[in-house]
Every structure is written in structure tokens, then in C-alpha cells.
Amino acid sequence: MFNKLCPHCNRRSFSASASGIWLCPYCGEDITSVLAISGNQHPDDKGKVEK
């Protein structure tokens, strides 16, 4: 599971895939270019993924 924080409405969006067009389900903005965070990765880890 992946998630992105929408920079337009500050709400978190979730998806099973990090690829493809990603529209915020809350405000409808295109957040495709926002970095996707995997389910086992904390946003403050700066790219580190736990295994």
C-alpha cells in the first residue's frame, strides 16, 4: 500500500500502486508528481525503508 500527502488539501491518499495518474480523492487535484510513501516507510525516514 502506498500513500501520498496532498499539498493542496493536506489530506493523505492511499493506493495499491504508486504508478499512474494519481488524483486526490478529497480535492480532485493531480498529485501524480508527489512522492509516494510505501506502507512500511515513515515520511520522516527520508527514503529509508524498513525490511
pLDDT at 46 over 80: no
pLDDT digits (tens, 9 = 90+) for 10-24: 999 999 999 999 999
Beta strands in the chain (DSSP E): 2-5, 12-15, 37-38
Q: With a threshold of 0.75, does the pTM exceed it?
A: no
On the question of pLDDT at 47 being above 90, the answer is no
Enumerate the β-bridge partners of residue 14. 3
Q: In the beta sheet, which residues pair with residue 39?
A: none
Q: Cβ–Cβ contacts within 10 Å for residue 31, how many?
A: 21
**Cell representation of residue 47:** 527514503
**20-43 per-position pLDDT tens digit:** 999 999 999 999 999 999 986 665
* Domain chopping of the chain, boundaries: 1-37
Instruction: Tell me how far apart the alpha carbons of residues 51 and 45 are, in angstroms, rounded to a whole number.
Output: 13
The one-letter code for the residue type at 38 is: S
